[in-house]
Amino acid sequence: MQVCLFDIDGTLINTGGAGSAAIGQAFGQVFGVDNLDGVHTVGRTDRGIAAELFSVHGVEDSTDNWQRFRAVYLEHLQENLQQREGRVLAGVVELLEHLVGHDDVAVGLLTGNVAEGARIKLEYYCLMQHFAFGGYGDEHPGRDDVARETLRVAQSHLGRTIAGHEVCVIGDTPHDVRCARAIGARAVAVSSGFCSAEELSAAEPDVLVESLADPAVLRAIFA
């Protein structure tokens, strides 16, 4: 059995900045601050981004504030997806269709997006049907913890223990590579998103490609 865990933004889709715009708009609407300067979002979980925004702007990092922010963010996300020119990235549809056609492959998500945000994005781009399970950024500020939670979810989905060598994490940032290592998985890095090939190479993925259309992706998954 091979378990493939995909990041979303920069790996599967480019939303034209819809997510970042929605984060800024939501924080401004809920807390009266619309400046994200100095807060890095690439490769991070939504919960981690919110925690840093709270810290930078003196907002209490409480469950109530997080839930208020999350709800308004999701409203703005849907609006921004419709207003911006995004796209599904090269090779994604073909790769996913190939993988889901194999009985010995389980395809899931390992993303920093909150679960509902992931659903909104992937349904907008007609990709959600390919994913049977996932791990999301609703609770954990750190991506390594999301990876560990995703592995537990995958094991529950499949009804058995999954060894690290059976798992391949596909993403576009060094965070994706590092979280793959946290669960003993292989890492495929794709430079179709927010990080250069040089940045990704420094993280030492097992495979580095320019797009998911590269045949090296399938070779890595079935290694």
* Superfamily name with CATH number, domain 2-15+87-221: HAD superfamily/HAD-like (3.40.50.1000)
The confidence band for 39, taking pLDDT boundaries of 50, 70 and 90, is: confident
pTM of the entire structure?
0.95
> Average pLDDT of 59-81?
96
> Taking Cα atoms as reference points, which of 67, 154, 82, 94 lies closest to residue 121?
82
pLDDT higher than 80, residue 35: no
pLDDT computed for residue 187 by the predictor: 97
Mean pLDDT for the chain? 95
pLDDT computed for residue 194 by the predictor: 87
User: How far is Cα of residue 56 from the mean position of the Cα atoms in its chain?
Assistant: 24
**CB–CB of 161/155 below 8 Å?**
yes
pLDDT higher than 80, residue 223: no
Q: Residue ranges of the domains in the chain? A: 2-15+87-221, 18-83
pLDDT computed for residue 203 by the predictor: 96
- pLDDT tens readout for residues 178-206: 999 999 999 999 999 989 999 999 999 99
- pLDDT tens readout for residues 50-65: 999 999 899 999 999 9
